[in-house]
Chain A
Amino acid sequence: MPQVDVRGPRFGAWVTTVVLAVALLTGSGWLVAAQAVVFAVGAFAGLRYAPYGVLFRILVAPRLGPVREREPEAPPRFAQLVGLLFAVVGAAGFLIGAPLVGAVATGLALVAALLNAATGFCLGCELYLTVRRAQTARTV
């Protein structure tokens, strides 16, 4: 299983938080859409190719010193997928003329990103079990 420097996803979460905050303040659907593309690359191509991950490796990591801790890629990668869902709804809301829907979805993505950045909490990871539980409940 691919491993990533734990500081990479945290850095990415901070950048995401700032991008989404700017998007909210400017009401820019295109900025949310750009963030959605960033999420999509991380979720589908892997964190190695995630734009903020690349930024981290080139600009930030060399200044931080050696890697102290690595983690499996799966949890942060899954979180990118959850972020993508919120960002797609957010971008669509802004761009098709439902700014309130756009703002609320973007706000939810921002909460998840900020919590992850500040505390390391991974909303998507926690929701994963909830979703799997609900699926069984329906099929039983």
Chain B
Amino acid sequence: MDATGLVVLAAALVVSALAAWWLRTRNGAVRAVSEEGATVPEAGTTSTAVLQELGARPEDADLTVVQFSTAFCGPCRATRARLQQLQTTRPGLAYLHVDAESHLDAVRALDVRRTPTLFYLGRDGALIGRSSGAPRPDELTALVDAHTAVQS
């Protein structure tokens, strides 16, 4: 039995448990974006403007979701499928998919660190919030329903 190995193994298990807990808490949690956070300092522009440059047209829908993904991101695929599925039953939802790798300037301007990162825009163009990591399906549905006119 290797003493160093035993200590490192124990530490690795603790780190894994903490990371799993952190990811569970953070993944998909929507953070409100403050007025400061909504502006992109070096570019002298707003997050909304950056997203609009990528093709987002918030004025056309109750809620516009912009998703940043990479080819090496498994959860991105599931999140994308979920949003596209929600779109079929919720006309007020618009969805824009952005390949992060081919838009690295926007990635840096918006400080996108993980994929998927989602941005939520209201009809007025205001950034409602953003989230990193794959959201849980029920939470994503609830969020979309809260911002789009649900037809019951």
Mark A residues whose CB is within 8 Å of B: 21, 23-27, 71-72, 74-76, 78, 99-100, 103-104, 106-108, 110-111, 114-115, 118-122, 124-126, 128-130, 132-133, 136-137
Interface of B is mostly: helix
B contacts with A, residue count (CB < 8 A):
33
Q: Which residues of A are found within 8 Å of B16, using beta-carbon distances?
A: 110-111, 114-115, 118
A76 touches B23 (CB 8 A): no
Mark B residues whose CB is within 8 Å of A: 1-2, 4-6, 8-9, 11-13, 15-16, 19-20, 23-24, 70-75, 77, 100-101, 104-105, 107-108, 112-115
A118 touches B20 (CB 8 A): yes
- Min CB–CB distance A40 → chain B (angstroms): 18
Query: Could you list some 30 contacts between A and B, CB below 8 A?
Result: A25-B2, A26-B1, A26-B2, A72-B74, A72-B77, A75-B71, A75-B73, A78-B72, A103-B2, A106-B5, A110-B12, A111-B19, A115-B19, A119-B20, A120-B75, A122-B72, A122-B73, A122-B74, A125-B74, A126-B73, A126-B114, A128-B70, A129-B107, A129-B114, A130-B113, A132-B70, A132-B100, A132-B104, A133-B104, A136-B104
